[in-house]
Amino acid sequence: MTIDDAPREALRGGPRELLRWVATGAAVSRADLSRLSGLSPSTVSQRVEALISQGLLEETGAGRSRGGRRPRQLAVPTGGAVVGAVDLGAHHARVGTLDLSGRVVQARTLPVRIEDGPEAVLGALLAEVATLVGDDPEASPGGSATGALRGIGIGIPGPVQHATGRIVSPSRMPGWNGFDVAAFCAGRVDVPVIVDNDANLMALGAHRTAHPELDHAVYIKAGTGIGSGVISSGRLHRGAQGSAGDISHCRVVADPAPPCTCGNAGCLEAVASGAALVTALRGQGVQVSDLTGVIRLIDDGDRQATALARQAGRAVGEILAVVVNFFNPQVVAIGGRLADCEPLLASMRATLYERCLPLATQSLLIERVATGQDVGITGAAHLVIDHVVAAS
């Protein structure tokens, strides 16, 4: 059983949680970690030494005495080791390096053409990660910059078989079906590369940043497409093959039911995604080229665009109502470019309250993902950090 598969209770005082307590400032010494975890000082010391040997923690001097020997203070190294992170979209990619506490060191947004194919796109993104590591003056004091890189996390805007890193039947990604991202990257870098769906990484980044205290959450990514990530018992839930949370091809009631890229009709993505809104507006004679244009129309109060946004919000709310009634999360948060579309968000919220059981919504938080454009690379970095900790 890996650290991602272990129950939350079993992780109490595990290496990842010890690292998180130090990274957040909740603990600055072994004594603090022992108090928070309930573990014996000897067990905590053993786990801390393992983290120090991996370069995940460091001792920074003596702290304040409380009647005995002054405790040795602990910290997450802020210079030296970094992780690379890529959040790939259909037209843009966010690429960054983060330190071992999950703090963004450097980040850039690059234009991409997903239709250029996996080799060209991924090759360019890996090169950009290497450039960022090489540009970091603290990346490797006394050594080579590339030696500072501990791993790379990559988010893909399509279904990913997490165990293998292979893409399976993605929408709007010609030439990517069946491509083994992990194997391709392994042939080009000498560090672990971990691949996951972009909505999962958004969920992980948002949860670790905004709601680490909550056990159950659903995060929706609504942009050109629609997906979601699920947090269960405090950890990312992928299901048997990695498709847990994929709401994009759940059918909603729509008349007429528009065709979907999966071959069916009336799927949520065909009704409520950014791409669907562009198609629907064009069908009504509105000249709009992309999602940016749709959002501009909505912000300007355009009647047709606003009506479609409200319909999309109801469709998302109908699917999420099933999810909320079944899963009973503590928070439902929406991110992606459509998260700032107030008519969509208001309609989604109203539908949730209308369709869900009172017990499921009486303490439910419904909100926007508030961690900004770096939420995806933050999730990708935490994926790598968890992998490194599990191997320590």
Q: Within 10 Å of residue 227's Cβ, how many Cβ atoms?
A: 26
Phi, then psi, of 217 in degrees rounded to 5: -155, 155
**pLDDT at residue number 1:** 34
Could you give the CA distance from residue 242 to residue 234 in angstroms, rounded to a whole number? Answer: 17
Tell me which residues of the chain have a pLDDT lower than 50: 1-10, 139-147
For residue 100, what pLDDT is reported?
85
Question: How far is residue 87's CA from residue 104's CA, in Å, rounded to a whole number?
Answer: 13
Extract the runs of DSSP E, i.e. beta strands, from 200-336. Answer: 217-222, 226-232, 235-237, 331-335
SS3 315: helix
Q: Rounded CA gap, 298 and 302, in Å? A: 6
SS3 150: strand
365 neighbors 250 (Cβ within 8 angstroms): no
User: DSSP label at 289?
Assistant: -
Beta strands 92-98 and 160-161 are: unpaired
pLDDT at 289: 92
Cβ contact 94:107 at 8 Å: yes
DSSP 115: G
Q: Which two tokens stand for residue 21?
A: 């307590």
- R_g of the chain computed on alpha carbons: 22
Whether the CA torsion 84, 163, 327, 223 is positive or negative: it is: positive
Q: What secondary structure letter does DSSP report for 147?
A: G
CB under 8 Å to 139, separation ≥6 — which residues? 79, 80, 82, 97, 133, 145, 148, 149
Alpha helices by DSSP H, 40-117: 41-53
Which DSSP string do the residues of 352-376 spell out, in sequence order?
Answer: HHHHS-HHHHTT-EEEE--SGGGHH
CA distance 270 to 170: 14
- pTM for this model (two decimals): 0.87
Residues written for the chain: 392
CA distance 250 to 254: 12
Q: Distance between CA atoms of 345 and 69, rounded to whole angstroms?
A: 55
3-state SS, residue 319: helix
Residues 6+ apart with CB under 8 A from 317: 347, 348, 349, 350, 351, 352, 354, 355
By the 8 A CB rule, do 191 and 129 touch? no
Distance of CA 217 to the CA centre of its chain: 13
* Confidence (pLDDT) at 25: 80
